[in-house]
Structures are given as structure tokens and as C-alpha cells.
Amino acid sequence: MPLKVQDEYLETGSSIAADSQINYEDAISYWTSVPASVNGVLGGFGEQTAVPKVDIVGSLTFLRRLSSRMICPAGEMKYTIDMGAGIGRITRDVLWKVSDKIDLLEPVVPFVKEMAKELVEVEKLGKLGEIYNIGMQDWIPDKKYWMIWCQWCVGQLPDEALVQFWQKCRDALMENGTLIVKENIAPVEDIFDDTDSSVTRTDSKFRQLFSQAGFKLIATDVQRGMPKELYPVRMYSLKVMQK
């Protein structure tokens, strides 16, 4: 699920729930047909535009603001997993800078193959962990993660499956672990896109699903500097809700 141009996806007023139209097989088929490149995974807003750099700077700035609230327990490794990782762009440009080791999860085979090229330097640093060639809905985690990063991927899951996935994330986080979600935001209602069989959710829907999954929101910000024709992109930082 890449960046989305607003004019292409208008609110329909349909009584059919947007997320009910998601089809995993259609999504995998679409993404397998897309070039395994930055331009491909970002829906045409690749390195010929300012978008990749703006995105990376925004993510690093957000993480710096959160650093005092992301203290890793003494003696523990800062272990991160990059969900729906594509070709490994976020691991390559962001996550290795703040993590001791990074796992990646990506269901699209050509993207996983491209990771071997994109993550050479991360591997040389000894920071490359496991690569899981599976979907988010099939992930069976260990309780070891300091941070779980979900960017431009959760629109591929229906609401119920997304809550179940985030519940697994909740159980996979170490003490004081953090879930980061960075996604496109629909202005009025959730919108289904049949191109990649994904849904763009509203801010209010995200907050509802976070709560259902057992997370509390501790910080959020809008990504600055994106082209005006795109949907807004919002970053969320979440902690496990204490019982």
C-alpha cells in the first residue's frame, strides 16, 4: 500500500464496508507485478521525487522526539521488526540507525529477493536479523521486540485481522516496547482501492482499532513536506495499555 493521490479515490458513500473488499491474493498479485525498486514500492513517488528523503527525515525526527520514552531495559537488545518491509528501504535508511538488530517481514517474493542488494551494508554492520517471507496475518512472533514498525502496509488487512495482528504485536513487545504506525489518512471515511486491494483509513478509525488491540497512543504527528496531491501521512507511537 503506497502513497495515494487524493483525487483518484473519492468517498463513495457506499454501505459496503471498505475493509470487507480486501483480497489478499489480489494484493499479492498486484505487488508482484510492481518493480522491486523504491519507485515501485512508493507508487511512482521514488527517488526522482523528494518523497523518499522527506519520509526518512520525518521518521527520524519523530523517533528523536520519542527517545526518552523508548528506553530499552538494561541488558536487552534494541530488536526491531520492519513490517511489510518492501525492499527494505526503511530498514536501510532509518531502522539500523536506532536499532541493534532488525528483522523484516514481507510477503512479496521479488521484494524479498531485492533485499539482498538493498541491505548489504546493514548486514555488514551485523544488524540484519531474520527475513520472514510471509504476510502479517501469518506472523507468529517471539516476545523480544523493542520496536515494531508498520509503514504503508496495514491497509492490506481488514479491520478484524488488523486488530488481531496488533494484538500479536502487543504480545511481542518487551517491557516499554513501542509500536510505530505510519500510514496514509483518509479525510472523511475509509476508502477501498481496488488497484492494490487496500483500504485507506481515517484517523478516528486508527485510534479505534489501536484501543481495541490494547494500545494507548502516546504521540502522533503529520508527516511534513509531502506533495499536496497526496493523502496526509500520519505517524503514531503506541505503548501497550496497562491492565
End-to-end CA, the chain: 33
Task: Tell me the three state secondary structure of residue 171.
Answer: helix
Question: Is residue 151 a known part of a binding site?
Answer: yes
The torsion angles phi and psi of 226, rounded to 5 degrees, stand at -75, 150
Question: Is residue 89 a known part of a binding site?
Answer: yes
Determine the Cα–Cα distance for residues 208 and 19; give it in Å rounded to an integer.
15
Question: Taking the CB of residue 220, how many other CB atoms lie within 10 A of it?
Answer: 15
Determine the Cα–Cα distance for residues 75 and 161; give it in Å rounded to an integer.
34
Question: Is residue 84 a known part of a binding site?
Answer: yes
Residues within the annotated binding site? 84, 89, 136-137, 151
| Binding residue positions for S-adenosyl-L-methionine | 84, 89, 136-137, 151
